[in-house]
Amino acid sequence: MSAIENRLADLGITLPEPPRPVASYLPAVQSGNLLMVSGQIPFQDGELLANGAVPSKVSIDLATAAARQCAINGLAVAKSALGGELERIRRVVRLGVFVQCDPGFDAQPAVANGASDFMVEVFGDAGRHARAAVGVNALPLDSAVEVEFVFEVE
């Protein structure tokens, strides 16, 4: 097992089967050394972890857990795109975090930390990344959170 696989095992995390392409887009595309992973929503065992707007329908804590699940799913997609070899990931470059929320909600960074902290737990300093976190009024399947990823890979 690679160091990263060991780290995931230490964290008690089993990466899920990555989502299959359901349209004309792909879960991930590599160009040069950049691996772009499509926007992930917090599926866990086939169901979304959180639906609706933060905070009226979804608490900040639940949304943060959902952002972490998005990151788990994004890593599963990256692993699949890299032929199962997570050690080909050199670093996390960028996260784009969209939080479905009520107007005036201003704690998107706290929610986004669910995804950001996961990357650092798994990759250490190589998990630290640039990030944009914003609020939106609606997301696919009424998900509370969507996260997209750019990894640097070899």
In the sheet that holds 89-100, the strands lie side by side as 28-31, 34-40, 145-153, 89-100
What is the distance between the alpha carbons of residues 140 and 41, in angstroms, rounded to a whole number? 8
Burial 91-105 (b: 16+ CB within 10 A, else e): bbbebbbbbbbeeeb
Q: Tell me the CB-side half-sphere exposure of residue 145, using CA atoms within 13 A.
A: 38
Q: Is 60 in the site for a second copy (CB under 8 A)?
A: no
The two three-digit tokens of residue 64, written as one number: 């943060």
Residue 122, H or E segment: helix 108-123
Q: Is 138 in the site for a second copy (CB under 8 A)?
A: yes
21 upstream amide cis, omega within 30 of 0: no
From candidates 6, 11, 29, 84, binder to a second copy by CB under 8 A: 29
From candidates 9, 13, 33, 69, binder to a second copy by CB under 8 A: 33
CB of 65 to a second copy, least distance (A): 15
Q: Is 152 in the site for a second copy (CB under 8 A)?
A: yes
CB of 99 to a second copy, least distance (A): 8
What is the distance between the alpha carbons of residues 66 and 44, in angstroms, rounded to a whole number? 9
CB of 91 to a second copy, least distance (A): 7
Nearer to a second copy, 62 or 99 (CB): 99
Stretch that binds a second copy, among 7-15, 22-30, 62-70 (CB under 8 A): 22-30
CB of 9 to a second copy, least distance (A): 21
CB of 68 to a second copy, least distance (A): 11
Q: Is 58 in the site for a second copy (CB under 8 A)?
A: no
What is the distance between the alpha carbons of residues 23 and 5, in angstroms, rounded to a whole number? 30
Binding site for a second copy (CB under 8 A): 21-29, 31-34, 36-39, 52-53, 91, 93-96, 98-109, 112-113, 116-117, 119-120, 127-143, 146, 148, 150, 152
